[in-house]
Amino acid sequence: MFEKLKEDLGVFSSFFFIMLQLTNRSLAIDTLRISEAKYRSLFENIDQSVIYLDATGNVVAINQAAEQLLGLPRDVIIGRKFNDSCVKVIKEDGDAFPEEQQPSVLALRTGKPVEGVVMGLFNAERQNYLWVVVNSVPEFRMGERQPHQVLMTLTDITRQKQSEGKLSMASVIFNNIGEGIFVTDKDKKIISVNEAFTALTGFTQQDVFGKSASLLHSKKNSIKIDDELSNLSEAVNSWQGEVWRRHKSNMDFPSWTTVSEVRDSSGETAHYVHVFMDITHFKKAQDHLGFLAYHDPLTKLPNRLLLKDRIDHSLQNALREGSQAAVLFLDLDRFKGINDTYGHAVGDGLLRETAKRIKNLVRKEDTVSRYAGDEFVVFMENIPNAKNPAKLAKKLIDTFNAPVYIKGYRLKISTSVGISLFPQDGHDTETLIKNADAAMYRAKKEGRNNFQYYSLELTTEAFEKMSMECALRQSIERHELILYYQPQVCLKTGELVGVESLVRWMHPTQGLMLPKHFISIAEDSGFIVALGEWVLQNACMQMVRWLDEGLNVNKMVVNVSAIQLLRSDFVATVERVLGSTGLDPSYLELELSGSGFMDNSEQIIKTLNKLVALGIDLAIDDFGVGCFSLNNLKRIPVKKLKINNSFVADVLNNVDDEDLTRALIALGHGLHLQVIAMGIESKAQQRRLMDLGCDEGQGYLYSSPVLPWSSIFRKLCASNIFKA
Ligand code: C2E
Ligand code: MG
């Protein structure tokens, strides 16, 4: 078009045209300048980060937004490859972004825009990744097919990426954490549970979805979580504590639980998040630790701490109730020698065996403690009398008569025991233990293998009793027991109605002893069973002899203790004696004497019925002072009541005693029982008792207890009439 104009206008026109051309050009340049300035200003001030790369991939321009985003000045970046300049480029999965796949490179190579590529740009200075979405648009010069540059825009998505990361991290934690988690809505309905929750409780998401959180609350709990949660506030928005959780199988387990309240943007409760862990093992370990704190690990016995605690507590009760208690301090004799000779393993075995033997001997309510080394303490609370601990001490000493076998060794040991009593030897735990320990040292000094009370008198008494018991046990084989007989008489006619056998013991050094000095020892030691059988056997034999001789004796009265009746073989013993002696049971009357009938009445009543079924008569001794309740009296098939000496002695002088005796006689008759008075010494007593309606009598007025071959006795029996 310019060439045609040139031809038409000629030279002038050429000049004009040149001028026009120049003017147009400068106008165009101006326009271009203005446009470029506008463009530059736009480029610089736009929020979008923009970078231009040339055809070789080098940065040629970068705007301020991009500079800020990358945190690098443009002179560091311009002229360098984008990823060389300052950044390491990674893909979303964290792997390095290969250069040939980067959007700018692709756009340059393909000539097509590459959009929406997520890249992580590592900033070495800040040491973190910047996440951007990159669009790369190739630009072409007129007529060229290859882009001469590429425009790259970068949009910062770091925040979005971070929150995405946090969410996925929370999800990973929720499902992989070992603690059980369940989330409820504000109404405490379960909306979500994690995998550990199912593993711990057995409940799946399906089992519990939409159900109340109380479903997971065991009945064993004393706390109410709902109450705790109602106390939460904005300042304190979580609660922690021990909670018993329900397991689907109903095997509840203890858990340590944290409940956090989650509020929405308006501050209202939106959710509760319960996080809990099973603490069964921890609790077991804790219990074990608690056990170890108060027990000796070797013998499993209470240690000093627990012993002190128990004694302290018990002494308070004892003080309130006015009861007695005892501390027994045991020390194994020559234990050190065993430890040194056989080694510690054997020593430990011996201590364990000692603990076992002691425990086998004590009452349920007693405390056995390993106090130290080879020292053991037994605490006996509520003891009936001061002699009781001596019995246990004796048994403890005797238990070591049997050798101990440990690891193939036969060990013979002994123990020394010291006893202190509450309240007489001390009012507090320390003093009682200290004094029992002192007594134990005295026992060691006395030659070991024995016991000592802290109080010397009690020791003497206990030893006397012990030596008496020992001698008594030999009385049968040494033929030291002797039976005396005392007649029982009908008060009205003076007729002989029976003879009571009364045992005596010819003690080897102390001479003839009356029953009051040895019957209680025999009862305490259990020897009464053998003694009673001996009496029964000999009394029955004597009766058979008298009957054979034609003496007029109707009844042989034999005293029986409650301890004998408690033996399951008592009836069989009586049958055996009757069988061996050939005595007809109707000649035998058993007099139930002593205490102990009340405690075991049911068992005893059964035995008494069996005896009556054999044809034996029963009488109750010491009626009025003994321990038969009136209620039991109705149920016992007894024939006779024996009124105790004490009433008879004062029946003449004391109106009260006379009234009581009259009442006892009336009571006996009311129950259709015969009544015999004991201890009649004078005719006046006999008359008064007759007036009061008493049926029979026994006492020195007729005869004192005598030997069977006594001539007076035989004469009386032969005539059958006592002319008192
Ligand atoms: P008990 O059965 O009440 O025996 C009567 C006791 O009174 C006898 O004492 C007797 O000697 C005594 N006595 C008899 N007449 C008179 C009297 O006129 N005045 C006084 N003051 N006393 C009189 P003993 O022989 O010392 O027996 C005491 C107790 O020992 C007996 O009391 C009985 O409970 C018990 N006993 C005796 N022999 C045996 C026995 O073989 N086995 C059992 N378990 N206990 C026995
Ligand atoms: Mg009697």
pLDDT at residue 561 greater than cutoff 80: yes
Atom 15 in ligand 1: residue holding the nearest Cα: 699
Q: Who contacts 441 (Cβ-Cβ below 8 Å, separation ≥6)?
A: 418
Determine the atom of ligand 1 nearest the C-alpha atom of 539: 41
- DSSP label at 697? E
Tell how far the Cα of 321 is from the centroid of ligand 2, in angstroms.
35
- The pLDDT score that the predictor gives to residue 151 is 93
Are 201 and 247 in contact by the 8 Å Cβ rule? The answer is yes
Q: Above 50 in pLDDT, residue 127?
A: yes
Q: What confidence category does residue 11 fall into, taking pLDDT thresholds of 50, 70 and 90?
A: very low
In the numeric block, the tokens 């603490």 are attached to: 279
CA distances for 392 relative to 35, 325, 609, 654, 719, angstroms: 119, 13, 35, 44, 53
Per the CB < 8 A criterion, the answer to whether 708 and 544 are in contact is: no
Pocket test for ligand 1, best of 475, 592, 593, 686 (most atoms within 8 A of CB): 593
Query: In whole angstroms, what is the distance from residue 588 CA to residue 360 CA?
Result: 41
Q: What is the per-residue pLDDT for 142?
A: 87
CA-closest residue to ligand 1 atom 43: 559
Residue range 378-385: mean pLDDT, rounded: 95
Q: Nearest-CA neighbor of 225 among 211, 213, 210, 207?
A: 213
- Would the pTM count as exceeding 0.95? no
- Compute the chain's Rg from CA coordinates: 55
- Average pLDDT rounded to a whole number, residues 319-345: 93
Residues 6+ apart with CB under 8 A from 337: none
Higher-scoring residue by pLDDT: 71, 528: 528
Structure tokens at 493: 């006619």
Query: Residue 705 CA: which ligand 1 atom is closest?
Result: 11
**What local confidence, expressed as pLDDT, does residue 346 receive?**
95
Residues having CB closer than 6 A to ligand 1 are 486, 502-503, 514-516, 519, 532, 535, 559-561, 591, 593, 621, 645, 678-679, 681, 698-700, 705
Q: Give 532 Cα–ligand 1 centroid separation in angstroms.
A: 14
CA 184 to CA 191: how far, in whole Å? 5
Rounded Cα gap, residues 119 and 507, in angstroms: 115
Confidence of residue 659 (pLDDT cuts 50, 70, 90): confident
Nearest-CA residue for ligand 1 atom 21 is 679
How far apart, in whole angstroms, are the C-alpha atoms of residue 417 and residue 374? 12
Mean pLDDT, the chain, whole residue set: 89
Token representation of residue 436: 């029992």
Tell me what pLDDT residue 2 has.
Answer: 44
Is 636 a residue whose pLDDT tops 50? Answer: yes
Cβ neighbours around 368 below 10 Å, total:
23
Question: Residue 24: which pLDDT band, with cuts at 50, 70 and 90?
Answer: confident
Most confident of 9-23, 29-43, 656-670: 656-670
Average of per-residue pLDDT across 407-420:
94
What is the number of the ligand 1 atom nearest to the C-alpha of 644?
A: 3
pLDDT at residue number 655 = 77
pLDDT digits (tens, 9 = 90+) for 663-705: 989 999 998 999 999 999 999 999 999 999 999 999 999 999 9
Is the per-residue pLDDT at 184 higher than 70?
A: yes
> Is the pLDDT score of 124 beyond 70?
no
Beta bridge mates, 328: 378, 419
Residue nearest to atom 22 of ligand 1 (CA): 679
Ligand 1 atom closest to 528 (CA):
44
- Going along the chain from its start, the domains and CATH numbers come out as 27-164 (3.30.450.20), 179-283 (3.30.450.20), 295-454 (3.30.70.270), 471-719 (3.20.20.450)
Q: Whose CA is nearest to atom 1 of ligand 1?
A: 621
Ligand number, closest to the Cα atom of 596: 1
- Most confidently predicted of 116-125, 451-460, 691-700: 691-700
Cα of 714 from ligand 2 centre, angstroms: 21
8 A C-beta contact, residue 411 and residue 404:
yes
User: pLDDT over 70 for what percent of the chain?
Assistant: 93
Between strands 640-643 and 674-678, the pairing is parallel
- Which among 404, 401, 377, 374 has a CA at the least distance from the CA of 389? 377
What is the 502 CA–ligand 1 centroid distance (Å)? 6
Burial 295-315 (b: 16+ CB within 10 A, else e): bbeebebbbeebbbebbeebb
Q: Pick the ligand that lies closest to the CA of residue 535.
A: 1
Query: Please, which pLDDT band fits residue 553 given cuts at 50, 70 and 90?
Result: confident
3-state secondary structure of 325: strand
The yes-or-no verdict on residue 712 having pLDDT over 80 is: no
**How much is the pLDDT for 168?**
80
- Does 639 score more than 60 pLDDT? yes
Which ranges of 597-704 does DSSP label H, i.e. alpha helix? 601-613, 630-635, 645-649, 655-670, 683-691
Per-residue pLDDT band for 610 (boundaries 50, 70, 90) equals very high
Between the CA of 390 and the centroid of ligand 1 the distance, in Å, is: 28
Query: Which is more confidently placed, 202 or 652?
Result: 202
pLDDT band at 81 (very low <50, low <70, confident <90, very high): confident
- Over residues 572-583, the pLDDT tens digits come to 999 999 999 999
- Residue 264: predicted pLDDT: 87
